[in-house]
Structure 1
């Protein structure tokens, strides 16, 4: 193969790695990715990274050429190669990321992707560094690999700049650091929203069911980037009566119908099922109501043949109209369209199995064994909920990393991979 052809092939590896990383970011919380599909996606991404790796200097040059775009997806392939290199190129890449804030998630993701042996010594040096970005990336690497950085995490909770404190607060919950619970709880009254949210989020995972729940509920009742995440954890953590009160309070916020439907699924109370079936008659809400129905009942739409084609004339996402400025794919796109009559029939046949006022998750009580089964077999969005349930059942345990490379998740679950 001549040099020009080789470069072209390697450039394709770099482009595909960036594209697949973006696709992976969506798949992490997608409603339709099974563990095997997620593993296939990771294997494809790994193959393109390996193509860059095998190409040596040409691979590095092609990956590094994309850094000028300053996107997270552009930094990810180069950051993986740089983190695996024994020279100083990773330090130089971090310096570039300091001037391109949008790129930082790609660098952090790369640290979570590479094998632990490439991080020995490097992560400790970053955590001990005076530069906030390096501290933040060091803590992120520890959290993504679910490795406890030790006493330094407590020091960073109080003494670091806000961006580092935010990552340290999140890590405290992910790592189950109950010894830091008092520090985390104290930050739940911070005036800055990001600090307050992550403090409350971690405090709940560490066992707080009072002040931190109130802080999460406040976030859930106000539009913002953390609203849905706060709503999910709050509803999964509280008793059914408190969950119902929060769902009632949601009725006054923007996009209330959608949030209440999703919230009903998080709460897991069968009392909401008849109402969810009613919502399925509205095209704009039908699929998300069906997902919430499944979250409570565990019904299999495919097995029970409860899917129908989209309604006539329903437009989903971007159209061919040149004046239509919408280019976003709808988040419900991968969900099934429910056959309302068949869903109602299914419920009539199975309603006796369920009791109002108790929590169900995919048709069963929330137990460790059931949550582990969902982590092994469920769709990705269900697996995220299962991981939260497990952490709530065992405050102080490590939050299962549903966004980790698939082979690392499989090892944690004791599966081959």
Structure 2
């Protein structure tokens, strides 16, 4: 019974993964946001566009563009970014990415497909900090927290001292103070007091307070590149569901806060990438360099405790160790550990559906074909054996009396 329930749970999660995927959405602010409608680009064209935007195009072959005009989507030649800081905010776990901001439309919709290529865009984002640093050895990568990374020409020690004092000093409950200010600013005009009181997720509150503190205060130097990876919406979705008031309120509040911080800011050249619920969380892959990098973030002590059977202690370990489940599934919590829950993929050209299995969904699942072949063979062997036995029994059976009498030889008299 337990095995059946476990199987049913995996099957239900896999069924969710097999549903149609929402497209990721890319928003740009300032002079570059001049488009009236979003442009739908393929996975690779979206990567080339952002790689050129973030100055990491050396890692990609731009000659392989599916659409030659994709490189210029959402960009303005008149926009001078030399004096601006580059800000990239990645928001994971949004049910409708293209409607994340109420009055602003995305410039790019990243086409999502239920096949192996669907992980390429996420993989590009996860490697972005390391690629930026690799192409510019003068940049020092600093990790303020699990959510915020900064690449700068000069390590801003004042920033780290301030950050450590504000967010890591246990004697001062700064996060509660900042959260109270945010709540009071949005109470009444956008949210009721009751809806804000519902928000209690610690990770979400930490993300919002850290993001606002960094962008509102003059803490970064010029030409810094700031990468923010927000994951708390996915956690809230897993706890409360997509249609819950808590999830919808947190999503709306996060959107309004980001808009207030970056829409009219001349200091930041801002790009917001909104990832849908069905796609994987993004794990920022950062190459450690203890001599050049400074970090005040508390590092997680998670370790892979049973990777041989595909069981991991955290989602980050699962994503990193399985290469995002080989692009064929989701890292989901099953029981007490994180595992790859595989989903079927469909070839758009042939229409053929392929199922995957293995600890990292790396093997084609041929169990259905194997079972069909096995049981067909067993049935045929049974039929053959039954036929042989029938023939043998027919040969050994005595003839009826009439036939026996007819076959008894008669003695002729001379």
If the length of structure 2 is used for normalisation, what is the TM-score?
Answer: 0.26
* Structure showing the higher strand proportion among its residues: 2
Q: Which has the higher helix share?
A: 1
Bigger Rg, structure 1 or 2: 2
Higher relative contact order (CA 8 A, sep 6+): 2
